[in-house]
Structure 1
Amino acid sequence: MKAALLVLPLLGQPAMPVSDRMPVFNVEAMCRDVSADDKASGLALAQDAGECVRDETLAQQQLSSAWLTVPGPARESCEGEAAAAGIPSYVDLLTCLQMTGWANPAPPPAIPLRGASKMRNAKN
């Protein structure tokens, strides 16, 4: 085990604490599940899986440019919030960081992102 840890820096891979890595969410599977659940529940604003993936991908792209500028405690707190209820969402993660004042992409998207956010069916 120790030998493997020593080899990584020699292979040119940066030694990076796990908290510095942006979380990896399986948005395709998650969006399919969320869309199916919305439709099965008869929600009037059921999220289309394709739109969900698009929203989650846009949020992920916005996060990737700001992730390392956000202090570790804010990243950890928002990551926990975004993964709450077993539905990890980049839209929720980005929203949390925006609310704390750390991730403010410019300009905002023309269409509000819903993705798989737990708040996707809340009235604005």
Structure 2
Amino acid sequence: MKFLILIYGNPEGRELWNQLSEEQRRESMAGYTELESALSATGELLANESLDDPALTKQVLVRDGKAITTDGPFAEIKEQLAGFYLVECDTVERATEIVTRIPEAAFSIVEIRPVRDLSFLR
């Protein structure tokens, strides 16, 4: 079963990140590197990415066959999507175990969303 693990951050956390030195950022990312290596070794990791500043977002609406774009951010919310892991594992309990290894989970919100199985369409 596939699960999308969504990691949320907030503007204050992003500002603190921006104030870290390059060395501090490297040290902070070590937990993510270890998790990526472990999930790759077990074959559970399908994809993962860290997302850039929400202010760089573009919203795209398609109306009458034409794309209309707007610069972001869009929502007046406290938490913003910061990154994700797409994993394939047997149970939501295993996906939850993976979340406990995400360094940012200790001070942010992380969601687990099952990926809908649409293989019947193929």
Whether TM-score is above 0.5 comes out as no
Using the size of structure 2 for normalisation, the TM-score is: 0.29
Q: TM-score, normalised by structure 1?
A: 0.29
Whichever structure has more helix as a proportion of its residues is 1
Q: Which has the higher contact order (CA 8 A, sep 6+)?
A: 2
Whose strand proportion is higher, 1 or 2? 2
